[in-house]
Amino acid sequence: MIEEGYAAVSSRRIASKAGLPNAIHYYFETMDDLFIELFRRGATRSLARQEEVLSSRQPLWAFWDLLLDRSNGNLNMEFIALANHRKAIRSEIAESSRTFRRGQLKALADVIETSRSSTPFGSPEAIVLLLSAVSRFLTTEDAFGLDIGHSEVTGFVEQCITEIEGERLRAAEA
Amino acid sequence: MIEEGYAAVSSRRIASKAGLPNAIHYYFETMDDLFIELFRRGATRSLARQEEVLSSRQPLWAFWDLLLDRSNGNLNMEFIALANHRKAIRSEIAESSRTFRRGQLKALADVIETSRSSTPFGSPEAIVLLLSAVSRFLTTEDAFGLDIGHSEVTGFVEQCITEIEGERLRAAEA
DNA sequence: GTCTATACCGAGATAGAC
DNA sequence: GTCTATCTCGGTATAGAC
């Protein structure tokens, strides 16, 4: 799915790559059911990872690092592309996204309150969306070899995080 | 392509929908060549539209409106998804993106200079990327029925634009 | 030069073998 | 209960008809 795109995923190839008999349609009624199961497994792990990160000493910095970590990003992009045209998968991802977003807001609302920052864009909702949007854009462009403005916007985002959460601590201190 | 995704586009269906004989492979050697031709046509029109918008009275506001206009957005998303797995298309899009980006920076660098704004994130590169990233994220989420934080981040972005370019003029004044 | 017929492949799904 | 064989469909690409 990551290497060739969702369209290249087929029951036959899965069975073949896994060295298993092609009984996919015995275990999954349709391919969508298989994709949904795959998505849920990844989402469960990612959510655990997110909660771990959001409970660290500098949740905003850690969240930003997590967003920029491409290890799940490519797969997520494929699911979004797939969901654009499959209703069942779209609603699955939408509900999952709300869960992730709620977790982010729950953790970061506390951070905002604690730090009592007076940044002009201070709502947790705006900050979370800004980080999410910028990170996704940067990683997408990276895949195309584009980098115009990347350092500038990264600098801006990290300045925002610093205003809210303070200077980034070194790994040993975090 | 927009309705069912790039994977649903085939030479047979194109000929069928157009009511033409299926001679696609006489005119295009491979499907990639066809996709690239399609992309170029759209890009040419979009670039003209961008230049028109960037030469209006309030280029930043007009640019922001253009980004949020979904009329080409869905198709672009499909091309990006397609490009993730096809080298020829990826380099085509990358080069096109650089052209768009250069046009944006050329126009907006002037705006920044003219307005002499002292915004902390003032580099044109950062602003252009911020607007691009946020608009793409918002429109993608819209398609999934997600709206948490949308009004907040929109408010933030529009506040930035206002600081740089002033209050938005009404249509009659622009 | 333009298009048709077809080769060849592999997809999802299902009937039914064991 | 598990898997295999096969049905039907539609894909890209090409050989060759006209």
Name the residue closest to the C1' of D5 by its CA: A22
Residue A86: the pLDDT is: 95
| A28-59 burial code (b ≥16 CB/10 A, e <16) | beebeebbbebbeeebeebeeebeebbebebb
Residue B114: the pLDDT is: 72
- Give the DSSP letter string of A48-98: HHHHHHHTSSSHHHHHHHHHH-TTTHHHHHHHHHHHTT-HHHHHHHHHHHH
Kindly report the backbone phi and psi dihedral angles of residue B145, in degrees, each rounded to the nearest multiple of 5, phi listed first: 75, 20
**Between B80, B94, B123, which is nearest A145 by CB?**
B94
A51, A103 contact by CB (below 8 A):
yes
Interatomic CA–C1' length for residue B23 and nucleotide D17, angstroms: 14
Residues of A (46-85) whose Cβ lies below 8 Å from B? 74, 77-78, 80-85
| Token pair recorded at residue A93 | 């991802």
- Give the DSSP letter string of B73-107: HHHHHHHHHHHTT-HHHHHHHHHHHHHHHHHHHHH
Per-residue pLDDT of chain A (174 residues; tens, 9 = 90+): 999 999 999 999 999 999 989 899 999 999 999 999 999 999 999 999 999 999 999 999 999 999 999 888 899 999 999 999 999 999 999 999 999 999 999 999 888 777 755 566 668 999 999 999 999 999 999 999 999 999 999 999 999 899 889 999 987 665
CA B157 to chain centre: 17
Please state, in angstroms and as integers, the Cα–Cα distance from residue A149 to each residue in A86, A127, A146, B122, following that order: 34, 20, 9, 12
How many CA atoms within 13 Å lie on the side-chain side of B138? 23
Residues of B (11-50) whose Cβ lies below 8 Å from A? none
Cα R_g (chain A), whole angstroms: 19
Nucleotides of C under 7 A from a protein CB: 2-5, 10-16
Nearest DNA or RNA nucleotide to A29 (CA to C1'): C13
> Residue B71's pLDDT band (boundaries 50, 70, 90)?
confident
A169 to chain B, any CB pair closer than 8 A? The answer is no
Residue A118: the pLDDT is: 59
- Euclidean distance between CA atoms B77 and A137, whole angstroms: 12
Residue B167 has pLDDT above 80, yes or no: yes
Inter-chain residue contact B85 with A137, CB threshold 8 Å:
no
Model pTM score: 0.93
A124, A60 contact by CB (below 8 A):
no
How confident is the prediction for chain B on average, in pLDDT?
92
Cα R_g (chain B), whole angstroms: 19
Inter-chain residue contact B125 with A3, CB threshold 8 Å:
no
Q: How many CB pairs under 8 A join A and B?
A: 142
